[in-house]
Amino acid sequence: MKTVKLHSKHFFLNVRGLTLIYLLLCVLTVFFSRTYFTETLEGGSVPGALPFLVFLTIPCAILVFLAISMVKLVRESVSKKTGGRFQIRLFLYFIVIVVFAAVPVTVITTQAIYVIVRYWRSIHLETALDGAEHLALEHYRLQLERCEALVNTQAARIETLMTGAGPHPEYPDMRPFITPEALFSAAGTRDVLAVQDFRWDGDFWVPGAFAGRPELELAMPPTAQSGFVPREIPRDQDLIRYIQTTTANGRSARTRIRVISWHLADRFDETVKTLDAEKLRYRQINNLGANLKVPLILYYGMFFFPTLLMTAIVAISFTRLISQPLMELTDATKRVAEGDFSVQILVRQGDEFGALIRAFNAMVRDLEKSRNALVKAEKISVWQSMAQQLAHEIKNPLTPIRLSAERVLRRWQNHPDRVGEILESSMMAVIQEVQGLSNMLTDFRNLSRPLASSGIWTALHPVIAGAVAAFLTPYPAVRFNMDYVDQEVEVRMESQYVSQILRNLIINAIDAMDEKGDIQFRTDLVRKQEGHYCRFSIRDTGKGIPAAEREQVFTPYFTTKNTGTGLGLPIVERIVTGHGGSIWLDSAEGAGTTFFIDFPLDGSLLPREHAAAASPEGAAAHGGEASV
């Protein structure tokens, strides 16, 4: 039993494989998008070429898969394969849905980014950062002035504090130490964090008295020059140092250095550093916002476009998955329509079309049983009808044969000497009737025997000319016109069959015109859906065929003539349809009749079901065919 397998044979990736690739693409997209945004926002510029080259391999690979799928899809549609156009339409429906879903999101996202950037740029954050930096600088200058003023105004009190310092209560061997509270009381402000003296011993600076926070004590003086000390981080974190140089005990030989540490502000240096860094980042991001189109294009090209391509591939896969059962059903239905009732479609487990396919298989099996019974009944009916008609046709000539024989017999019995008077006429009647029986049996044999087609190509014009030549002398009142017959056209049929067709059609045309009138032959090249044909037509100017008789002209033993077997046109129809062609007629009472025959020209014989056009209704079906 022939079967049609119900599974896709067109795409090399199944739905599970596509889903896995899609999930992998999503993971890679998330990973690279984070890297993309991090480098873009922190660096203030689009990432380098290497990440793009690495990630662009994904859309390139997807484009290859999509191109292969689209080529197969378009090829099936162009070749008019069953379901090809349906797959194209279904794929376009999927794409339209994806576009309808993606376009609003893309537009809204793009607009939102532009609005955010525009709002970001409207805040004037750089102006605020410049102001904060200016304030920090003014604060720094103010603290310098305050520190310098303190040195000038509170120098005596600080001198008294430092010279009156006694030994450390717990460590008397150490240098004098003054608590921060005592320093704050002497200086009159808590901005003075430490005061430290150094004395010169001839070779080195030796630390002396110290007042303030212990963690600010220095091992060596930062410089020997009077004034503010250049700040070094982390040594001078959040403070400034001022150097005061004097002579010890009024003697210039021993110079003393006093280092005053002044508090700028809590986290002053960290704040200034943060302001500088944020100002730089803002400028980078601000410059990036001015050229936002390039990052957006790159973003959609790297992350959004591959997803759309993958969606298109998934759409093609689902299109095939949905359309494949319908295509198999369509193919199976066509084969059933062609008469192949052995087709059975295999049902795949879990298929949504399983119930429909099982119903179709059951219907085909029932049709096959019904057809077998019907064919058997039709064969019996046809042979019964043929046998009855043949018996009737044989019985008709037997009556005059019997009467002629009885007449001769009676004359010979009653008047043997006068039997010669009727012998010749009686024998001629017997011979004539026997010849009619012989012709009828020959036509019946031609109708019932199989055709012997060899696929030989035959030129029409010489065969038509030969057939016409046989009728020129017997029928001088008939005019034959072959001006519209192409001398180069050939048909795929043996010349003996072409001659038999022409002879029957010419005889019918001459009888319809009462042996006088015009018969015109014509050939045209036409194109129909299934291929190219040579359309041959023979038109007479006879009385035409009544509408009630047109449907029966190809029925065996149907005839309106006094002579003839009624098998001429059925034989013509059988020859034409047996060679893949079709025959029909167009007639009007009082205007004549035209028989049309389409001979296939595409090399191989067409299926015999195309002979359905051989009915009067078939003429209308051919009216819309294009001439070449």
Q: What is the per-residue pLDDT across 199-238, written as a single tens digit (0 to 9) for each?
A: 888 788 888 888 888 888 888 888 888 888 888 888 888 8
Q: Which CATH number fits domain 450-627: 3.30.565.10, 3.40.190.10, 3.40.50.1820, 3.20.10.10?
A: 3.30.565.10
Structural contact between residues 15 and 321, judged by C-beta atoms closer than 8 angstroms: yes
H-run or E-run covering 463: helix 460-472
Task: Reply yes or no on whether the pLDDT at 263 is more than 70.
Answer: yes
Task: Reply yes or no on whether the pLDDT at 39 is more than 80.
Answer: no
Task: Reply yes or no on whether the pLDDT at 115 is more than 60.
Answer: yes
Q: What is the per-residue pLDDT across 429-479, written as a single tens digit (0 to 9) for each?
A: 788 777 767 766 776 666 566 565 667 888 999 999 988 988 888 888 999
At 20 the pLDDT is 75
- Amino acid identity, residue 205? W
Which band of pLDDT confidence, cut at 50, 70 and 90, is reported for residue 496?
confident
Coil vs helix vs strand at 455: coil
Residue with the larger pLDDT of the pair 98 and 42:
98
Domain ranges of the chain: 3-123+285-337, 153-271, 354-446, 450-627
Give residues with Cβ within 8 angstroms of 537, minimum separation 6. 521, 522, 523, 524, 594, 595, 596, 597
Distance CA 29, CA 20 (A): 14
Rounded (5°) CA angle 468-469-475: 80
Most confident segment among 19-33, 116-130, 189-203 = 189-203
Coil vs helix vs strand at 51: helix
Least confident of 46-60, 309-323, 370-384, 590-604: 46-60
In terms of Cβ atoms closer than 10 Å to its own Cβ (0-12, 13-18, 19+), residue 178 is buried
At 607 the pLDDT is 38
Q: What is the per-residue pLDDT across 527-585, written as a single tens digit (0 to 9) for each?
A: 877 778 899 999 999 988 888 788 778 777 667 666 666 677 888 888 888 888 889 99
Q: What is the per-residue pLDDT across 544-556, written as a single tens digit (0 to 9) for each?
A: 888 878 877 877 7
Task: Reply yes or no on whether the pLDDT at 45 is more than 90.
Answer: no
Average confidence (pLDDT) over 187-201: 86
134 is written with which tokens?
A: 């200016």
Residue with the larger pLDDT of the pair 388 and 264:
264
Task: Reply yes or no on whether the pLDDT at 125 is more than 80.
Answer: no
Q: Residue 564, by phi and psi: left (phi above 0), alpha (psi -120 to 50) or beta?
A: left
H-run or E-run covering 153: helix 125-153
Least confident of 248-257, 292-301, 308-317, 420-429: 248-257
At 81 the pLDDT is 65
H-run or E-run covering 287: helix 268-290
Residue with the larger pLDDT of the pair 443 and 362:
362
Mean of pLDDT over the chain: 76
Exposure string over 374-394, b if 16+ CB within 10 A, otherwise e: eeeeeeeeeeeeeeebbeebe
Q: What is the per-residue pLDDT across 385-403, written as a single tens digit (0 to 9) for each?
A: 666 666 666 766 777 788 8
At 462 the pLDDT is 92
Task: Reply yes or no on whether the pLDDT at 521 is more than 90.
Answer: yes
At 427 the pLDDT is 83
Exposure string over 493-510, b if 16+ CB within 10 A, otherwise e: bbeebbbbbbebbbebbb
Structural contact between residues 521 and 484, judged by C-beta atoms closer than 8 angstroms: yes
Average confidence (pLDDT) over 121-146: 83
Task: Reply yes or no on whether the pLDDT at 140 is more than 80.
Answer: yes
- Amino acid identity, residue 404? S
Residue with the larger pLDDT of the pair 334 and 440:
334
Handedness of CA 31, 36, 37, 39 (dihedral sign): positive
